[in-house]
Structure 1
Amino acid sequence: MMRTYSEILSVQNARVKEWASLLERRGRDKQGKYLIEGYHLIEEALKAGAGVETILFLADKGLPGELASLGGAAAAEWIGVSSAVLAKCSDAQTPQGVLAIVAKPEVGADALLAGAHDLVVVLDGVQDPGNLGTIIRSADAVGANAVVLGRGTVDLYNPKTIRSTMGSLYHLPIVEADLAELLPHARERGVRLVTTSLQAQRSCYETDLREPAWLILGNEAKGVSPGVAALSDVQVIIPMQGQAESLNVAMAATVLLFEAMRQRIDPAQINSSCVSNDYS
């Protein structure tokens, strides 16, 4: 069956202006939508049933068949655009030739608490989009149940954040919440709240992370805020033998997540098929 599509070639078109506004948080919040770019991200979104509404592709290159054949693609609107339109809607120096407009999901904290919450990453004011994206990717890699974004954390739908996740934002729930309200409810459900601190006396390797644990990491410069730290059950430090003052927050999160996974996995289950050499 031949898929039909329309064309929009002028950057002055009203819809193009709406799409371009999604590059800014104000536009995303107003429309309840966000942009993703590139074949890999759009493929992951379509496979996950992530609410892809519109797919833009270069009209002079034709419909990208490898995407058109995927599940969920039939529900999307396909529009051929000019290179000028694509550039206007992209923040990349070299646009990748295909963009999609996706509806934001509605995932509340209540749903998180009602479901599996055995291993969760909680972020308290992480500001760098690349750090947030990397943490989400690491959480996905170890099979964490969710990522929670506290107030003051960078927007999940920032294009730089989305690119850094490499599609992992479609593999696990990501929830925005008021940590002062959420964390006490998590503790009531048997969750141990673990924060990182350079002043902590306990190593993360000496801490039992096999039971339900939420790993809380803070702002790049200030760390975990005092109010959130006061809610924690245990503070841990990642021991270092070199002269570095501290680890980048994304690196620290990755160390803690993989230590939690190491403690939880039967060594007999680990084999070469679990190892990835993709460091892109």
Structure 2
Amino acid sequence: MKYISSPQNPIIKQLVQLQEKSKARRQSGTFLIEGRRELELAIKGGYSLQTILYTPDLLPESGLGPLQDIANAQYIEISHEVYQKLAYRDSTEGIIAVAESKDTSLEKLAIGSNPLILVAEAPEKPGNIGAMLRTADAAGLDAVIIANPKSDLYNPNIVRSSVGCLFTNTIATGTTDEIIDYLKSRNINIFCATLQDHANYHDQDYTIPCSIVVGTEATGLSQAWRDASTQNIIIPMQGEIDSMNVSVAAAVLIFEAKRQRQFK
């Protein structure tokens, strides 16, 4: 069993780069996951773990538990000082792993005959992406597609804010034009949350194959989405503002679709 006590160890320096740099994650095809729950969800979601690093004094009484015998994974015991250097959060139970990224291209996206999909165009805040992934997991969506992503999916803020739902959802990424072509080629209706030429969201039929498309709070959806839309929809607002947090709006729309499908 390898043991690393110094934060200056070359392996640890490489892992710090994975934590901090999108380029390092992209070039290596790997990223870091912290915490027992997140790691168990990643394994359940089909992610491969290359290395598991742990510090015994922070592990719970059960130790590594089901994470102690992962096929083909290297195990490294690390000092508390090294753990603090790598850990993005304080409450991750003394365990961090190096995982292999997945191919999120549209070509790899497999969906059923009557899908319900969330599309988010150019979401900027990792916290909003994480919140939408949590909603998608709770609703059991068929897929989440990120159009024109501003950051890579394995940004530690997204991993953290999704509380592991990054690993439980089927996720794809692509350009707006690529995603529109993908949806139209499969006869998936496009409901765009936008103020232009809109109808109330609760007047639509979401029991058909459909995607719910949301944009940024600052600029909304691009013209390409508005042109491609089956129907533009809004959530009626009764206060002084004309929009709400994108993750909240997505949740309202998704669960209306789920309500209709439940009682179809």
Q: TM-score, normalised by structure 2?
A: 0.91
Change beyond 3 A, Cα 1:64–1:106: farther
- What is the CA–CA distance in structure 2 between the aligned matches of 1:32 and 1:222, rounded to whole Å? 32
Match of 1:20 in 2: 16
Match of 1:141 in 2: 138
> Bigger shift: 167-176 or 109-118?
109-118
SS across alignment from 1:240: coil
Q: Flag structure 2 segments of 5+ consecutive residues without an equivalent.
A: none
Q: CA deviation at 1:201?
A: 3.0
Change beyond 3 A, Cα 1:206–1:72: farther
Match of 2:234 in 1: 237
Q: Deviations over 1:206-243 (max 9, x none)?
A: 01111011111112311111223222221100112233
1:160 to 154, 157, 160: 157
Q: CA deviation at 1:154?
A: 3.1
- What is the CA–CA distance in structure 2 between the aligned matches of 1:63 and 1:76, rounded to whole Å? 21
Change beyond 3 A, Cα 1:77–1:115: farther
Contact 1:46 1:71 in 2 (8 A): no
Match of 1:102 in 2: 99
Q: What is the aligned residue count?
A: 263
Contact 1:48 1:170 in 2 (8 A): yes
| Alignment-mate amino acid for residue 18 of structure 1 | Q
Q: CA deviation at 1:113?
A: 5.3
1:10 to 2, 6, 16: 6
Contact 1:53 1:103 in 2 (8 A): yes
| Alignment-mate amino acid for residue 192 of structure 1 | N
Q: Deviations over 1:126-145 (max 9, x none)?
A: 10000001101111111111
Match of 1:173 in 2: 170
Runs of 4+ in 1 over 6 A off after TM superposition: none
| Alignment-mate amino acid for residue 198 of structure 1 | L
SS across alignment from 2:97: strand
- What is the CA–CA distance in structure 2 between the aligned matches of 1:174 and 1:38, rounded to whole Å? 21
How much identity, in percent, do the aligned residues show?
33
- What is the CA–CA distance in structure 2 between the aligned matches of 1:117 and 1:175, rounded to whole Å? 18
Match of 1:182 in 2: 179
> Bigger shift: 120-129 or 65-74?
65-74
Q: CA deviation at 1:68?
A: 4.0
Change beyond 3 A, Cα 1:225–1:72: farther
Match status 1:208 vs 2:184: no
Q: Deviations over 1:114-172 (max 9, x none)?
A: 65561111111110000001101111111111111111433211111111111112222
Contact 1:49 1:72 in 2 (8 A): no
Q: Flag structure 1 segments of 5+ consecutive residues without an equivalent.
A: 268-280
Aligned-residue CA RMSD (Å): 2.3
Q: Deviations over 1:27-69 (max 9, x none)?
A: 1111111111112111212333311111111144579755442
Q: CA deviation at 1:195?
A: 0.7
